[in-house]
A and B are shown apart, each in its own frame.
Chain A
Amino acid sequence: MSSNNLDQLYRRVIMDHYKTPRNKGTLDTNSVNIEMNNPTCGDRILLTLQVEDGIVKDAKFDGEGCSISMASASMMTQAVKGQPVENALKLSHIFSDMMLGKEYDDSIDLGDIEALQGVSQFPARIKCATLAWKAMEKGVQSEEKS
């Protein structure tokens, strides 16, 4: 087993988020619900966001999936909570660049999210990592329109 490569994918911090996810559950009041899945593999996420005055006040996720998808969801909720919508979308953009192996804006401290960088080396797993972020984008955009 080539564990060097695997270690790039399964960083300890990722496994930590997988095993003890942050913000797991659903918000009940005044929230926007987004359900998304990866039809080819069965990963599923239910994201609930509370957006007020252009700020993501709270975020929780529920669902099932592989370590990468669930860890990414956990990290995403952690990162966008308390952020203005604009910043949340910016983070999502940076994350997308990171997954595509592009140069990304490193002026913002990405914290735990940085650990997911190794996923870009595993093309089949990129969609696992981006699922929660796509749900978040959809959620804040629908909230902005309403």
Chain B
Amino acid sequence: MISKEIKSYFPILNQEINGHPLVYLDSAATSQKPVQVIEALKNYYEFDNSNVHRGVHTLGNRATEKYEGAREKVRKFINAKSTEEIIFLRGTTTAINLVAQSYGRANVEEGDEIVITYMEHHSNIIPWQQLAKERGAVLKYIELEEDGTISLEQVRAAITDRTKIVSMVYVSNVLGTMNPVKEVAKLAHEVGAVMVVDGAQAAPHLKIDVQDLDCDFFAFSGHKMVGPTGIGVLYGKKALLNDMEPVEFGGEMIDFVGLYDSTWKELPWKFEGGTPIIAGAVGLGAAIDFLNDIGLNEIEKHEHKMAAYAMDKMSGIEGLEIYGPADPAKRAGIVTFNLNDVHPHDVATVLDMSGIAVRAGHHCAQPLMKWLNVSATARASFYLYNDESDIDRLVEELRSAKEYFNDVF
């Protein structure tokens, strides 16, 4: 159950900003961290810190157990078949880049197609742009419907026999749209393409089952799901990962090193060159425990409720435009909007003076901004620690912002 008590686990939320209690509505950028995660990091550094997969001493064993224990937690969290399919990396961006540089370089040839959508984050655009340029491949965009959703007809129209990779965001960081990635994966597989899912905004909010989605790769970041920054995950099907070459070489990922040639460790370590992100993984494990205790289904329900409440209250403000699907059931807890005649930066500054944190700008999704025909927007995003009172504060301050700018004009 999501109760008011949850807020009390997040020490950062208990403070004043510019003389007002903080209302944090920027979780889509990064989430706040509960004491359980902060304590896990502290505990790791105070008692267990050591390097992993080497050394005979006790601390080395403990650190290894914690690190590999976190991998098992991640495996369960997304229902992967094996921990061999869970690679710890810096975040979603690094994960998608790994797929592009390793799988992409080996499998995409001149004239082949890579298919993405207009609602991608830059992290799921630029790795493919670079790959397409390098290989002489074609980068294609799936058109969006008027309400900012993706229809399977448009997906069918974009995918052809030349398509090698389809990559799509599960939940849009701007529109909040939840995309039918399972159905898209089916269409991709019909033409022999692999399906890559950018799960950065999905993993914090929905129950993920990579076997049910039948996606080939799934990328997400710890910091958006109450975990620390600097840790993320790439899931990949074992058969694909086995055939892929590492993109980072050095310590930790090798099996045998000769003077002129070396061999790699088995999965998943061959992709984890250098001392791994041990504390980050431990923190991510604690974050997963925290989310599981509450229940991902509960979190998802809560977010739909928040989105519905926010959209209802915000649409009562005259001149406020909300982007993306009008049906709250079709979106996660993200509401992107503009207040007419007031630039989103000005909206964000006025809200900040009242202790309310929202994002303003292009949200790392410039092609989508172009599609929306706006240069920037404001975005309020909700997570498990937000409740109706936060949205009431937002709505109240949006009304005064409007009045304020009407006055000074």
Q: Are A65 and B375 in contact (CB under 8 A)?
A: yes
Instruction: Pick the contact of A1: B345, B404, B408 (CB < 8 A).
Output: B404
In this assembly, does B354 line the interface, its C-beta being within 8 Å of a C-beta of chain A?
A: yes
B-contact bits for A65-99, CB 8 A (1 contact / 0 none): 11110000000000000000000000000000000
Q: Cβ of A125: which chain B residues have Cβ within 8 Å of it? A: 345, 349
A42 and B19 form a contact (CB under 8 A):
no
CB distance from A14 to the nearest CB of B (A): 9
Instruction: Establish whether residues A1 and B343, one from each chain, have CB atoms under 8 Å apart when the complex forms.
Output: no
Q: Are A1 and B354 in contact (CB under 8 A)?
A: yes
With a CB–CB cut-off of 8 A, which chain B residues contact A68? 345-346
Contacts of B344 in A (CB 8 A): 66
Distance of A15 Cα from B409 Cα, bound (Å)? 6
Q: Is B401 an interface residue (CB 8 A)?
A: yes
The complex places the Cα of A3 from the Cα of B344 at a distance, in Å, of 18
Q: How many residues of A contact B (CB 8 A)?
A: 24
- C-alpha gap A128/B375 in the complex (Å): 14
Q: In the bound complex, do residue B369 and residue A1 qualify as a contact, i.e. CB atoms below 8 Å apart?
A: no
The answer on a CB contact under 8 Å between A5 and B375 is no
- Per the bound structure, the CA–CA distance linking A128 and B13 in Å amounts to 28
Take A1-B397, A41-B360, A41-B361 as given contacts and tell me if A6 and B345 are in contact as well, using a CB distance cutoff of 8 Å.
no
- Pair count A-B, CB < 8 A: 63
Q: List the A side residues contacting B350 at CB < 8 Å.
A: 1, 6
0/1 per residue, B1-23, Cβ < 8 Å to A?
00000000000000000111000
**Residues of the B chain whose Cβ atoms lie less than 8 Å from the Cβ of A122:** 349
- Chain A residues with CB under 8 Å of B362's CB are 41-42
Name the A residues within 8 Å of B343 (CB-CB). Answer: 65-67
A6 touches which one: B375, B376, B404, B409 (CB < 8 A)? B404
Q: Is A102 an interface residue, CB under 8 A from the partner?
A: no
Cβ of B353 within 8 Å of any chain A Cβ, yes or no, is: yes
CB pair B345 A66 closer than 8 Å:
yes
* Chain A window 1-42, contacts with chain B (Cβ cutoff 8 Å), 1 for yes, 0 for no: 111011001101001000100000000000000000000111
Docked CA distance A125–B345 (Å):
8
Q: Which residues of A contact B19 (CB under 8 A)?
A: 2
* Chain A positions within 8 Å of B405 at CB level: 10
Give the residues in chain A near B315, CB-CB below 8 Å: none
- Encode contact with B along A39-78: 1 for CB under 8 Å, 0 otherwise: 0111110000000000000000000111110000000000
Set of chain A residues within 8 Å of B151, measured between Cβ atoms: none
A124 close to B (CB within 8 Å): yes
- A65 and B375 CA atoms in complex are apart in Å by 8
CA distance A6 to B350 in the complex (A): 7
29 residue pairs of the A-B complex, CB under 8 angstroms, read A1-B350, A1-B353, A1-B397, A1-B400, A1-B401, A2-B20, A2-B354, A3-B404, A5-B18, A5-B353, A6-B349, A6-B350, A9-B349, A12-B408, A15-B408, A19-B409, A41-B360, A41-B361, A41-B362, A41-B376, A42-B362, A43-B375, A64-B375, A65-B345, A65-B375, A66-B345, A66-B346, A67-B345, A124-B349
Interface residues, chain A, CB within 8 Å of chain B?
1-3, 5-6, 9-10, 12, 15, 19, 40-44, 64-68, 122, 124-125, 128
A-B residue pairs, 10 tightest by C-beta: A66-B345, A66-B343, A42-B376, A41-B361, A42-B362, A15-B408, A1-B400, A42-B375, A64-B375, A2-B353
- 17 A-B pairs besides A5-B18, A12-B408, A15-B409 with CB distance below 8 A are A1-B354, A1-B400, A1-B404, A2-B18, A10-B346, A10-B405, A10-B408, A41-B345, A41-B361, A42-B366, A42-B369, A43-B376, A44-B375, A65-B343, A67-B346, A68-B345, A125-B345
Residues on B lying within 8 angstroms of A by beta carbon are: 18-20, 343-346, 349-350, 352-354, 360-362, 366, 369, 375-376, 397, 400-401, 404-405, 408-409
